[in-house]
Chain A
């Protein structure tokens, strides 16, 4: 079915949208650059120790020119440091899905150029998140380890309690038949020592690689024993005495070469028949235009089909029940030759929209077609007509469907995603296989203005009951404060910093991200693995 774009790619509205959206993309890139620049400042120290910087390690590990999808790029932004001008995103680690010797892997790099790689408040969420993705998508895990662990000055008991989930995750991966590999580039002490300890393959780099339950300082404090770090946990010792290290590397580059070799020798892809991919044409409308067809302010309406035209193959899609619950758009299409069912919103979801979406999800589940959710909704409809029309009942069916479909679910926050509408559209808690946000997106229980007006009504009602006249000045201040409180927390940079998605992307990359994750999910489902009960033990 062909749909014609109604947005001229050179009009004033397009130009204004584009300039606003690219401003937000620039902010995203600047934040990513902030972490990279901070890490780069430690170059001298790394070079003195004969080491590569974390980003150099990543570049040397990955296959040249193969795609890389970063995960949780904004982790911890505005969490430990509330100042947007100084807060450093990333959580002192770089994670993503990339290729090593032709094998799609989950890559986890400690960013030891920043605070020696010490964990931040959100680092545990990020680590658990990527381990979960590795397990669900059957991705071998490669962790380039060099971390000071947790900074004792910032100790929080939750971090310790939740942090145990890292090793739980490694044990589950090993038992699921998914190999885990560590390159020990630097220290990994205390709890961190279980990172190599729990991994299936450990490559230790001579001189710098070190794993011990307690380093020299703690051992001396605890037992009085005077020992060197090399004796306690050097790679050389582990390779010859303790048996923790399987492969001993001369330096960082050699360690990464061994990692590539170990992955190559798994011959991992022989267990995965290539999923069928239909021949396809690129979109007729340039995905580059995605930055201009969407107003940054979600309150300004636009047609979500404009986005479909710029992400699906040949700009061609088949709309399902176009005339029924028309604010909720369901369409069948393909992305890079991979079939998918797409659900998007042109506003709030009404009862018909909810039942249509629930039915569409069940049909996709029946056909084994992955689902894609383009979140652009202020939520389910409210008001007498809708309540009496069964909005709760119909919305519940949609939430039930989205929870229980068995096909891959991929969500994008592209505009508003409020209230239970977020649940029905496969928000964070509905465990989408992948969830990415655009920088303009707003998510939360409701919009800030809506919340402020609600609280305004409540305050006026309370005043009236007490026979007082409302203090307009105070109410205005309250409205302003509530709006700010909600909007600050709805902002995509804020929510992404709290790991409530898998990362923020440039809207113009949406087709590539979608194509990449559809490949990832398709591969996972085509792949057979050899699970075992207890994980592989280092005997």
Chain B
């Protein structure tokens, strides 16, 4: 059941991450790309690349027909879906198998079993996995939900039955707000998932989001690789993740791990998966959902276990036994991952797009960076604004946190607005530093003020001067001959250069003699 050539049906950092391990395993890799991604790093790094055309996901990375055609045209015998896009689409997994391609992921029925949140809850409850009290009855009409709501109790969560990623999800503090929440959640769910079926769950306040990584092979082995704490979330979007969870002890880890393994076994799981739980202050945990794919935050697990999850995925997909027993899994040290997004914390986290003039990833002891961009790449508005993940490992949690803080400070993504300073504000916050953050952390602490919005005028001015000098030296290199002492000189005494960064204000650089420059930004000087 071996394979030699893998189609990587994804983009950005995860495509590069998969290419890296595939290479190490001697596999040939084929990248796919949309029109705006033609010059993306993942395209260059693969052995072969196939143009999907189109820009919006629906006409590129979500178009199963195009992906299967790409696999055929480039002689692939396996498909790795990464995360997002078609990674949790059972129909796509099935059509890969039907086309004779090994799908590097769970079997289609396992995906489908977890795909519907309501069905999954029932299945898990039946298998003995603890679930949040809630309602997932067949009658999904508003009247039935209203009645059920009083039984579930407030505060509660209204969730899209088909959902994920925070969309179609609303917290309802009391009964008077239920009708509005139902209407909004239905509309969002319909728009996002094409289904307006909703379920209700008790909202567990002051909880931590703790998830267990599981791995299963085709020979009946199911193990877990410990947990990740993903409590730092903004509107259910994870921002910072870590392993291990600061409050988990060995016994609780054992219990949660067992629950996760039970969940995986219940659906005949294979490959890498993640079982998500809410952990309340009393140590009680409740099943949330299972993600039947590789997670964005898998590197923290890799950092503390020393395992390569993508390599394990390939091994299991090829039909080999896992080769790692539960007792072989050792958690060593602590790892924290921060997600660098192209978004403006000062403008309600509005996604940003545009060219990255200069990308410099941090490096150092214990630092790993999985980036989807490089200098000169233009970030398009069509896809998830995740630019890079910065992962720091340390002997202790605080060492990892300090290394992460340093690495974020050394990260340069010039030209594009990012959440870097917001991430630094989180890493510096005493509650996070003490390991006490729950999912309410960002609701309780407004860190947007601490995170600078647009770049400081001084930084822009410095950038403009650097660009001026680079452009000048480039022009001089192309010229026939210009003496150095003539540079930055206009006989009229008034030469200036002009530049703009990503729609920002006009910057004017005026040489002031003796290697000094005056920079005007709008009205500032």
- B478 contacts A66, CB within 8 Å? no
**Does chain A have a CB within 8 A of B479?**
yes
- B478 contacts A70, CB within 8 Å? no
Taking the closest CB of chain A, its distance from the CB of B411, in whole angstroms, is 27
**Does chain A have a CB within 8 A of B486?**
yes
Binding stretch for chain A, among B311-319, B333-341, B495-503: B495-503
Which single member of A63, A70, A337 contacts B475 (CB below 8 Å)?
A63
Taking the closest CB of chain A, its distance from the CB of B481, in whole angstroms, is 5
Q: A219 CA to B471 CA in the complex, in Å?
A: 47
Q: A101 CA to B471 CA in the complex, in Å?
A: 10
Secondary structure of the B side of the interface?
mixed
- A515 contacts B485, CB within 8 Å? yes
- A277 contacts B481, CB within 8 Å? yes
Cβ < 8 Å to B, chain A residues 463-503: 503
Given contacts A104-B480, A269-B480, A67 and B492 within 8 Å (CB-CB): no
**Does chain B have a CB within 8 A of A302?**
no
Closest to B496 in A: A59
Closest to A504 in B: B491
**Which residues of chain B have C-beta atoms less than 8 A from A73's C-beta?**
491-492
Residues 105-128 of chain B, each 1 if its beta carbon lies under 8 Å from chain A, else 0: 000000000000000000000000
**Does chain B have a CB within 8 A of A282?**
yes
Given contacts A101-B478, A102-B478, A104-B479, A515 and B486 within 8 Å (CB-CB): yes
Which single member of B478, B485, B497, B509 contacts A282 (CB below 8 Å)?
B485
**Which residues of chain B have C-beta atoms less than 8 A from A272's C-beta?**
480
Q: A526 CA to B480 CA in the complex, in Å?
A: 10
Which single member of A32, A99, A337 contacts B479 (CB below 8 Å)?
A99
**Which residues of chain B have C-beta atoms less than 8 A from A102's C-beta?**
474-479
Binding stretch for chain B, among A205-213, A221-229, A339-347, A506-514: A506-514
Cβ < 8 Å to B, chain A residues 242-287: 269, 272, 274-275, 277, 282
Closest to A277 in B: B481
**Which residues of chain A have C-beta atoms less than 8 A from B468's C-beta?**
64-65
Taking the closest CB of chain B, its distance from the CB of A262, in whole angstroms, is 15
Q: A36 CA to B478 CA in the complex, in Å?
A: 31
- B483 contacts A336, CB within 8 Å? yes
Which single member of A56, A67, A69 contacts B498 (CB below 8 Å)?
A56
- A269 contacts B491, CB within 8 Å? no
**Which residues of chain B have C-beta atoms less than 8 A from A515's C-beta?**
483, 485-486
Q: A17 CA to B481 CA in the complex, in Å?
A: 35
Q: A411 CA to B488 CA in the complex, in Å?
A: 24
- A503 contacts B481, CB within 8 Å? no
**Which residues of chain A have C-beta atoms less than 8 A from B469's C-beta?**
65
Taking the closest CB of chain B, its distance from the CB of A410, in whole angstroms, is 14
Residues 491-515 of chain B, each 1 if its beta carbon lies under 8 Å from chain A, else 0: 1111111100000000011010000
Counting chain A CB atoms within 10 Å of each CB, the highest count among B476, B486, B511 belongs to B486
**Does chain A have a CB within 8 A of B482?**
yes
- A509 contacts B471, CB within 8 Å? no
**Which residues of chain B have C-beta atoms less than 8 A from A36's C-beta?**
494
**Does chain B have a CB within 8 A of A121?**
no
Which single member of A66, A101, A277, A505 contacts B487 (CB below 8 Å)?
A66
Closest to B471 in A: A64
- A66 contacts B482, CB within 8 Å? yes
**Does chain B have a CB within 8 A of A134?**
no
**Which residues of chain A have C-beta atoms less than 8 A from B497's C-beta?**
59, 62, 64-65
**Does chain A have a CB within 8 A of B516?**
no
**Which residues of chain A have C-beta atoms less than 8 A from B477's C-beta?**
102
Residues 248-286 of chain B, each 1 if its beta carbon lies under 8 Å from chain A, else 0: 000000000000000000000000000000000000000
**Does chain B have a CB within 8 A of A306?**
no
A interface, size bucket: 35 or more
Given contacts A65-B511, A96-B491, A269 and B486 within 8 Å (CB-CB): no
Given contacts A59-B495, A59-B496, A67 and B489 within 8 Å (CB-CB): yes
**Which residues of chain A have C-beta atoms less than 8 A from B476's C-beta?**
66, 102
Which single member of B488, B492, B495 contacts A32 (CB below 8 Å)?
B492
Taking the closest CB of chain A, its distance from the CB of B254, in whole angstroms, is 64
Secondary structure of the A side of the interface?
mixed
**Which residues of chain B have C-beta atoms less than 8 A from A396's C-beta?**
none
**Does chain B have a CB within 8 A of A103?**
yes
Which single member of A68, A519, A523 contacts B492 (CB below 8 Å)?
A68
**Does chain A have a CB within 8 A of B472?**
yes
Cβ < 8 Å to B, chain A residues 286-320: none
- A99 contacts B485, CB within 8 Å? no
- A519 contacts B493, CB within 8 Å? no
Taking the closest CB of chain B, its distance from the CB of A65, in whole angstroms, is 3
- B490 contacts A70, CB within 8 Å? yes
**Which residues of chain B have C-beta atoms less than 8 A from A430's C-beta?**
none
**Which residues of chain A have C-beta atoms less than 8 A from B483's C-beta?**
277, 336-337, 515, 519
Q: A61 CA to B474 CA in the complex, in Å?
A: 15
**Which residues of chain B have C-beta atoms less than 8 A from A528's C-beta?**
none
**Which residues of chain B have C-beta atoms less than 8 A from A526's C-beta?**
480
**Which residues of chain A have C-beta atoms less than 8 A from B508's C-beta?**
59
**Which residues of chain B have C-beta atoms less than 8 A from A64's C-beta?**
467-468, 471-472, 475, 497, 509
- B475 contacts A66, CB within 8 Å? yes
- A519 contacts B482, CB within 8 Å? yes
- A63 contacts B471, CB within 8 Å? yes
- B481 contacts A519, CB within 8 Å? yes
Closest to B478 in A: A102
Closest to A276 in B: B481
**Which residues of chain B have C-beta atoms less than 8 A from A70's C-beta?**
490-492
Taking the closest CB of chain A, its distance from the CB of B477, in whole angstroms, is 7
- A274 contacts B488, CB within 8 Å? no
**Does chain B have a CB within 8 A of A516?**
yes
Q: A275 CA to B480 CA in the complex, in Å?
A: 8
**Which residues of chain B have C-beta atoms less than 8 A from A503's C-beta?**
491
Q: A522 CA to B482 CA in the complex, in Å?
A: 11
**Which residues of chain A have C-beta atoms less than 8 A from B490's C-beta?**
67-68, 70
- A29 contacts B485, CB within 8 Å? no
Taking the closest CB of chain A, its distance from the CB of B488, in whole angstroms, is 5
Closest to A55 in B: B494
**Which residues of chain B have C-beta atoms less than 8 A from A56's C-beta?**
498
Q: A219 CA to B497 CA in the complex, in Å?
A: 41
**Does chain B have a CB within 8 A of A352?**
no
Q: A516 CA to B509 CA in the complex, in Å?
A: 22
Closest to A25 in B: B493
- A67 contacts B481, CB within 8 Å? no
Taking the closest CB of chain B, its distance from the CB of A408, in whole angstroms, is 15
Taking the closest CB of chain A, its distance from the CB of B515, in whole angstroms, is 11
Residues 444-487 of chain B, each 1 if its beta carbon lies under 8 Å from chain A, else 0: 00000000000000000000000111011011111111110111
**Does chain B have a CB within 8 A of A60?**
yes
Which single member of A29, A274, A275 contacts B493 (CB below 8 Å)?
A29
Q: A104 CA to B476 CA in the complex, in Å?
A: 10
Which single member of A62, A101, A269, A275 contacts B495 (CB below 8 Å)?
A62
Given contacts A64-B472, A66-B476, A99-B475, A506 and B485 within 8 Å (CB-CB): no
**Which residues of chain A have C-beta atoms less than 8 A from B481's C-beta?**
274-275, 277, 519, 522-523
Closest to B489 in A: A67
Q: A101 CA to B487 CA in the complex, in Å?
A: 15
Q: A29 CA to B476 CA in the complex, in Å?
A: 28
Q: Supply 16 A–B pairs (Cβ within 8 Å), ascending by A.
A: A59-B495, A59-B508, A62-B495, A65-B469, A65-B488, A103-B478, A103-B479, A269-B478, A269-B479, A269-B480, A277-B483, A336-B486, A512-B485, A513-B491, A519-B480, A519-B482
A residues neighboring B (CB under 8 Å): 29, 32, 36, 56, 59-60, 62-70, 73, 96, 99, 101-104, 269, 272, 274-275, 277, 282, 336-337, 503, 505-506, 509, 512-513, 515-516, 519, 522-523, 526
> Given contacts A65-B471, A69-B491, could you give 12 more A-B pairs where the C-beta distance is less than 8 Å?
A56-B498, A59-B497, A66-B487, A68-B491, A70-B491, A96-B492, A99-B475, A104-B480, A272-B480, A277-B481, A515-B483, A519-B481
Q: Which 10 interchain pairs have the tightest Cβ spacing?
A: A102-B478, A65-B472, A64-B497, A63-B475, A336-B483, A67-B486, A64-B471, A68-B490, A102-B479, A70-B492
B residues neighboring A (CB under 8 Å): 467-469, 471-472, 474-483, 485-498, 508-509, 511
